[in-house]
């Protein structure tokens, strides 16, 4: 799998949020997006996931432009704050999402909850979850269907150290399996430990570190 960004720009009103982004992202690697909050990381991730369109430029998946068919490229993503149904448990929320495509069953859902240290809270209502629990559930939904592309925005936000360590090992193993992984963070050390390549965001400009 290869994702290419060619002269991608995004403007909101008169503000250039992303300026002339060019990069090539390939399977079997972890890519880090680093920059302060508001530097454009989440905006670019949303464009890669086809949630918003570039003002100009192209985003290509294996040489093809995205045309409302992002689902066929098997993308799992957590961007900004996770949103689920408050009245449903963590497991029930994942089950609802899994049933949309019918690719996985309860076994895979429970495995994803275990991978993020959330198995013990699987029956707790999402509305009762802490910030860290919500983040864990968001990561679980991004990985549970064995997606080829995994995108995690501020992946370790609100997580305790033991879970951060476990998810880092999980991501390293997923890289070995050939997944294309993108992680955004404002914490330099986390990205340096994980990423094969790091892109720095500053005032709409993106440079490769």
Question: For position 101, what pLDDT does the model report?
Answer: 87
Question: For position 104, what pLDDT does the model report?
Answer: 95
pLDDT digits (tens, 9 = 90+) for 44-76: 999 999 999 999 999 999 999 887 778 788 999
pLDDT digits (tens, 9 = 90+) for 11-24: 998 889 999 999 99
Q: How confident is the model at residue 201 (pLDDT cuts 50, 70, 90)?
A: very high
Residue 3 has pLDDT above 90, yes or no: yes
Q: How confident is the model at residue 169 (pLDDT cuts 50, 70, 90)?
A: very high
β-bridge mates for residue 201, sequence order: 206
Distance CA 165, CA 194 (A): 11
Q: Percent of the chain at pLDDT above 70? A: 100
* Secondary structure in 3-state letters for 78-106: ECCCCCCCCCCEHHHHHHHHHHHHCCCCH
Q: Which domains does the chain have, with CATH numbers?
A: 2-74+148-208 (3.40.50.300), 81-137 (no CATH)
Kind of pairing between the strands at 64-65 and 56-61: antiparallel
For the chain, the average pLDDT equals 94
Residue 71 DSSP class = G
Question: For position 33, what pLDDT does the model report?
Answer: 96
Q: How confident is the model at residue 159 (pLDDT cuts 50, 70, 90)?
A: very high
Under a CB-based contact definition with an 8 Å cutoff, are residues 45 and 77 in contact? yes
Question: For position 81, what pLDDT does the model report?
Answer: 84
Q: How confident is the model at residue 138 (pLDDT cuts 50, 70, 90)?
A: very high
Residue 208 has pLDDT above 80, yes or no: yes
Distance CA 103, CA 121 (A): 24
């Amino acid at each position: 799998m290869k994702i290419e960004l060619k002269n991608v720009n995004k403007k909101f009103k008169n503000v250039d949020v992303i300026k002339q982004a060019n990069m090539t992202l390939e399977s079997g690697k972890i890519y880090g997006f680093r920059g302060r909050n508001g530097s454009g990381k989440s905006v670019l991730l949303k464009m890669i996931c086809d949630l918003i369109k570039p003002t100009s430029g192209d985003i290509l998946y294996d040489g093809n432009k995205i045309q409302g068919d992002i689902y066929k490229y098997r993308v799992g993503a957590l961007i900004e704050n996770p949103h689920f149904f408050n009245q449903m448990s963590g497991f029930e929320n994942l089950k609802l999402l899994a049933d949309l495509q019918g690719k996985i069953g309860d076994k895979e859902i429970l495995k994803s909850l275990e991978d993020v240290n959330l198995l013990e809270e699987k029956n707790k209502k999402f509305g009762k979850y802490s910030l860290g629990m919500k983040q864990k559930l968001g990561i679980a939904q991004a990985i549970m269907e064995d997606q080829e592309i995994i995108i995690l925005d501020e992946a370790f936000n609100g997580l305790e150290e033991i879970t951060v360590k476990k998810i880092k090992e999980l991501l390293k193993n997923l890289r070995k399996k050939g997944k294309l992984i993108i992680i955004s963070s404002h914490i330099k050390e986390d990205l340096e430990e994980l990423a094969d390549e790091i892109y720095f965001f500053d005032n709409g400009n993106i440079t490769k570190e």
